Amino acid sequence: DAMVIQNPRYQVTQFGKPVTLSCSQTLNHNVMYWYQQKSSQAPKLLFHYYDKDFNNEADTPDNFQSRRPNTSFCFLDIRSPGLGDTAMYLCATSRDRAEAFFGQGTRLTVV
Amino acid sequence: AQSVSQHNHHVILSEAASLELGCNYSYGGTVNLFWYVQYPGQHLQLLLKYFSGDPLVKGIKGFEAEFIKSKFSFNLRKPSVQWSDTAEYFCAVITYSGTYKYIFGTGTRLKVLA
């Protein structure tokens, strides 16, 4: 029944070692979002895809990249993770301006 | 810049007390408004949404929210909270300026004492 699936649920990576988080959806939604949520903070939008168009937030570090090879999949690449990138990463999808559906998140720990 | 403010960061209530959580947004265009809940260890779930029409919106689990356009507010209410309502609550707005963007407020952590 899961409609937005994120893998892995937990990821530990070494400082500076590239890591990729994945998100897939079965809803055929045209918008996909990536958020970073640190402990006791609100989800912070990193970037989103509107169809194939990539939209980066102005304050998203260059270290964070994304790919969307097709409607169903979206990836978050962190090229050189720092300790400050330890957080929960949330993927969400929506159909235009309708409500967003969230995945369970990937808890990333950088050591 | 578009933003969403939630003024209550931590709220502690006893069971059966009434709840009101404030949410204000800054955006001049048409907005869609949402409240999400995040139970401990779980993902964000939609409580209710406002697109247009009746400004008083009813959601799941007895929650409701009122959209007051003149005040740029979308406050969440529940007449009688339960221990199981202990969670974090996020107000969100979706705006459009060439593309759609979902922006969240800072969240309110609610603790209900049994």
In tens, the pLDDT along B97-107 reads: 777 788 899 89
Q: Which of B8, B24, B101 is nearest to A58 (CA)?
A: B101
User: For residue B6, what pLDDT band results from cuts at 50, 70 and 90?
Assistant: very high
Chain A residues whose CB is inside 8 A of the B109 CB are: 40
How are the residues of chain A apportioned to helix, strand and coil, as percentages rounded to the nearest 5?
A: 5, 50, 45
For residue A35, give the H/E element and its range: strand A31-37
Chain B residues whose CB is inside 8 A of the A99 CB are: 34, 46, 49
b/e burial code for range B33-50 (CB count within 10 A of at least 16 → b): bbbbbbeeeebbebbbbb
Residue A11 Cα, gap to closest chain B Cα (Å) = 16
What are residue B35's DSSP bridge partners? Answer: B48, B91
Predicted local confidence at residue B102, as pLDDT: 83
List pLDDT tens digits, range B13-67.
999 999 999 999 987 777 899 999 999 888 889 999 999 899 999 999 999 999 9
List pLDDT tens digits, range A96-108.
878 889 999 999 9
Given B43, B101, B103, which is nearest A102 (Cβ)? B43
Low-confidence spans in chain A with pLDDT less than 50: none
Q: Are A20 and A11 in contact (CB under 8 A)?
A: no
Residues 6+ apart with CB under 8 A from B96: A97, B29, B30
The Cα–Cα gap between A56 and A49 comes to 9
What are residue A46's DSSP bridge partners? Answer: none
Q: Which residue out of B52, B101, B109 would a mutagenesis test of the A interface target, given it has the greatest number of A Cβ atoms within 10 Å?
A: B101
Chain A residues whose CB is inside 8 A of the B45 CB are: 102
Range in A77-81, B6-10, B54-58, B74-78 with the lowest mean pLDDT? B6-10
Predicted local confidence at residue B37, as pLDDT: 95
Predicted local confidence at residue B64, as pLDDT: 97
Could you give the percent of chain B with pLDDT greater than 90?
A: 71
* Confidence check: pLDDT of B1 > 70: no
For residue A94, the SS3 value is strand
The Cα–Cα gap between A93 and A49 comes to 9
For residue A83, the SS3 value is helix
